[in-house]
Structure 1
Amino acid sequence: MPSTLATPVHSEVILKKSRFIGCVQPVANRAAAQAVVDALWQAHPGARHVCWALMAGGQSAAVDDGEPGGTAGRPMLEVLRHQDLEGVLATVVRYFGGVKLGAGGLVRAYTDTVAQALLGAAKVPLQRMGALGCEVPYALEGLVRRELAVAGAVLGAVRHGSQVEFDFSLPQVDVPRFVVRLSNVTQGRIGWRKETIAE
């Protein structure tokens, strides 16, 4: 099962006078990742490179930022993939020390910097969520709200029209059992509007 990270974790590697400052952290998408990278450039104006890799489904990316192609971003991304991480950004700020490392040395340096940060990282399992919607008579609104709270569902929109409509999500593995339970406690006076799967 894929995991993300609970909090950012930092590392630092010194190799032949070059300093590699790494960080792995949870991010939602490429826009958030780019904001982190932009902030790193502002925090480290003297750095030679800010390389990064993002594992985030269809928004994944690997950026070498001027290092020889395939020596930074891609190896960093492979570390994230090997650890089965999702929604995680790895960044490495490099201060050049005057000694060239060669392609193999660069791959090792970027890989090791990310791997060291991950050693101290707390992983959080990602759950596939089921997005549901139902409608009930007004008299059952309180009952449904209590059942949602007990089940640990994440309540979305609630609309009050001819009936009360609820949008909510809960872990996909709990969906079938919860649908049966809610149908039973409302004595069949519930209308299920939709059932879609959300990542």
Structure 2
Amino acid sequence: MQEQYRTVARAGVHETEVNRSRFLCALGPAATEEEAQEFIARVRKEHPTATHHCFAYVIGADASVQRASDDGEPGGTAGAPMLQMLMRREVRYTVAVVTRYYGGVKLGAGGLIRAYGGAVGEALDALGTRIRRRFRRVTVTVDHQRAGRLENDLRAMGRAVGEVRYAEAVTIELGLPDAEVDAFRAWLADTTAGTAVLELGGEAYGDAPAK
């Protein structure tokens, strides 16, 4: 698995104008190709009179799925530069649709490439991106007497604390970078006098903490 990847911070639309043609770039997160295609279909429905709906998307932390479409523009002048911009910015799990309303002035191949690629770049700047890092799911089981202080300590340390369940004992779920598991295990044993139990789960991605 990749250690981290960048994705769009939120869904949104950013508009640019080039020689009287309007270029509306809609960006959104997409976990699967199906989600990307659904996003594209929604944009098409919202702009039924537009001249073109060109798109590109990248799925997978390792960019294993890459798709693009010129949607009637000259080959290689729309979808490809859009995809290249997503890849250049190292953006993953993201779909971009650039809707063009033709303004009556032909842009030429070079102009189209700059316009479509630039629309995606400007939209990424406007909407922002976020980093998601790989982590290990961890479950800590501790007695009630130590649970409150331990949870407070974990949050104070900036740990990604998830669900906390109270039963005969207290279980606290959190995420840790793989490289920090051994140090955390030692800290936990010291903090709880060896009474806490640490169980390692699977791997996933989560938002990197803000700096």
Q: TM-score, normalised by structure 1?
A: 0.76
Q: Given that residues 13 and 20 in structure 1 are in contact (C-alpha distance below 8 angstroms), is that contact kept between their aligned partners in structure 2?
A: yes
**C-alpha deviation, 1:134, in angstroms:** 2.2
Give deviations 1:99-144, integer Å, cap 9, x for gaps: 6656554333311222233344534333333321222233332233
CA distance in 1, matches of 2:157, 2:136: 13
**C-alpha deviation, 1:68, in angstroms:** 4.7
Q: Give the corresponding residue for 2:158.
A: 152
**C-alpha deviation, 1:3, in angstroms:** 3.0
Give deviations 1:41-64, integer Å, cap 9, x for gaps: 232110132222223314543233
CA distance in 1, matches of 2:65, 2:145: 44
Q: Give the corresponding residue for 1:47.
A: 50
Q: Given that residues 13 and 113 in structure 1 are in contact (C-alpha distance below 8 angstroms), is that contact kept between their aligned partners in structure 2?
A: no
Q: Given that residues 13 and 24 in structure 2 are in contact (C-alpha distance below 8 angstroms), is that contact kept between their aligned partners in structure 1?
A: no
Residue 48 of structure 2 aligns with an amino acid whose one-letter code is: P
Equivalent position SS for 2:203: strand
Could you tell which deviates more after superposition, 65-74 or 107-116? 65-74
Which runs of no fewer than 5 residues in structure 2 stay unpaired?
Answer: 206-211
Q: How has the CA–CA distance of structure 1 residues 180 and 13 changed in structure 2, closer, same or farther, with 3 Å as cutoff?
A: farther
CA distance in 1, matches of 2:186, 2:75: 54
CA distance in 2, matches of 1:117, 1:157: 35
**C-alpha deviation, 1:79, in angstroms:** 0.5
Could you tell which deviates more after superposition, 144-153 or 168-177? 168-177
Q: Given that residues 9 and 118 in structure 1 are in contact (C-alpha distance below 8 angstroms), is that contact kept between their aligned partners in structure 2?
A: no
Q: Give the corresponding residue for 2:169.
A: 163
**C-alpha deviation, 1:176, in angstroms:** 4.2
Which runs of no fewer than 5 residues in structure 1 stay unpaired?
Answer: none
Match of 2:82 among 59, 64, 76: 76
Could you tell which deviates more after superposition, 144-153 or 58-67? 58-67
CA distance in 1, matches of 2:71, 2:184: 48
Q: TM-score, normalised by structure 2?
A: 0.73
Q: Given that residues 147 and 182 in structure 1 are in contact (C-alpha distance below 8 angstroms), is that contact kept between their aligned partners in structure 2?
A: no
Match of 1:91 among 75, 93, 97: 97
Q: Give the corresponding residue for 1:12.
A: 16
Q: Given that residues 57 and 66 in structure 2 are in contact (C-alpha distance below 8 angstroms), is that contact kept between their aligned partners in structure 1?
A: yes
Whether 2:67 is the aligned partner of 1:64: answer: no
Q: Give the corresponding residue for 1:29.
A: 31
Give deviations 1:48-89, integer Å, cap 9, x for gaps: 322222233145432333445543223211101111223333
CA distance in 1, matches of 2:72, 2:83: 17
Whether 2:140 is the aligned partner of 1:134: answer: yes
CA distance in 2, matches of 1:148, 1:194: 17
Could you tell which deviates more after superposition, 33-42 or 129-138? 33-42
**C-alpha deviation, 1:92, in angstroms:** 0.3
Match of 2:187 among 178, 181, 187: 181
Q: How has the CA–CA distance of structure 1 residues 188 and 130 changed in structure 2, closer, same or farther, with 3 Å as cutoff?
A: same
Q: How has the CA–CA distance of structure 1 residues 193 and 173 changed in structure 2, closer, same or farther, with 3 Å as cutoff?
A: closer
